Amino acid sequence: MTATLSEETRARDAIAAVGKSIFDRGLTFGSTGNISVRLSTGETLMTPTNASLGALDPARLSRFSAEGVHTGGDKPTKEAFLHQCMYCKRPQSGAVVHLHSTHSVAVSILADTDPEDVLPPLTAYYVMRVGRLPLVPYFPPGATALAEAVAARAEKSHAVLLANHGPVVAGKTLADAQYATEELEETARLFLLLRGSNIRPLTEEQRKAIEENASR
Ligand SMILES: O=C(O)[C@@H](O)C(=O)COP(=O)(O)O
Ligand SMILES: [Zn+2]
């Protein structure tokens, strides 16, 4: 089955618009980062490799069949398999965003964070959008082992932090994935701002009350 033209056209335009918004606000740089959207047919659209998120051409996005075969567009991101692993483990997800957002990357390099949950629950909005954030051990960008390590965590976690690299976040929609990635970045910034201060994160009880109502 092929997606209706209007759904695919809208998804292509949305990827380019979100990419530009992210790039223009300095949330990723150069040709770093990649974005994908899964259509209702199971086909996926992904950003091409070596493309600036700030200057994406909707017509040149890489296209994959529901079976994961590259069927059109430019050469896909080297993280195509990682995006596919996220979708495979998360049937409810319709989009994946990966950025090199500075504060998130900085936190991914710290040696003294909890690898099961890298950032404390500083605000309710962070718990709503991101929740618990596991750290995926370092593997080179584009490596099959990196995608497999993400897949191992993806069923439980829609958001993961790649060590010495950056965040990967899935969402029901592209807007959900974008907003969660931005919230992660802002919380990473707060966390670094507060390092050395005596902080009072949300309690486990407060966190659980928010998690009960969160749907990702
Ligand atoms: O860090 C990397 O090299 C990739 O994860 C990345 O962010 C950009 O790679 P492409 O999407 O292949 O340009
Ligand atoms: Zn990357």
Task: Count each helix (H run) and each strand (E run) in the chain, helices first.
Answer: 7, 8
- Angstrom distance (rounded) from CA 178 to CA 32: 15
Question: Which among 15, 23, 32 is the best mutation to test ligand 1's pocket, defined by most ligand atoms within 8 Å of the CB?
Answer: 32
Sign of CA dihedral 144, 175, 165, 191: negative
Q: Closest ligand 1 atom, CA of 98?
A: 7
pTM, rounded to two decimals: 0.96
The count of domains in the chain is 1
Q: What is the pLDDT of residue 215?
A: 72
Residue type, 56: L
Token couple for 162? 């790649």
Known active-site residue 79: yes
**53 alpha carbon to ligand 2 midpoint, in Å?**
12
Tell me, in angstroms, the distance from the centre of ligand 2 to residue 121's CA: 25
ipTM of the complex as predicted: 0.99
Reported as a single tens digit per residue, the pLDDT across 87-106 is 999 999 999 999 999 999 99
According to the model, what pLDDT value does residue 176 have? 98
pLDDT per residue of the chain (216 residues) written in tens, 0 to 9:
666 679 999 999 999 999 999 999 999 999 999 999 999 999 999 999 999 999 999 999 999 999 999 999 999 999 999 999 999 999 999 999 999 999 999 999 999 999 999 999 999 999 999 999 999 999 999 999 999 999 999 999 999 999 999 999 999 999 999 999 999 999 999 999 999 999 999 999 999 999 998 877
Residue with tokens 């319709």: 94
Whether 19 is in the pocket of ligand 1, judged by its Cβ within 6 Å, is no
Top mutation candidate among 31, 62, 101 for ligand 1, by most atoms within 8 Å of CB: 31
148 part of the active site: no
Chain centroid, CA 32 distance in Å: 13
Range of the domain at 132: 5-213
Q: What angle do CA 166, 136, 169 make, to 5 degrees?
A: 50
Residue 23 sits in a domain whose CATH number is 3.40.225.10
Residue 89 near residue 154 (C-beta atoms within 8 A): yes
- Report the nearest atom of ligand 1 relative to the CA of 48: 11
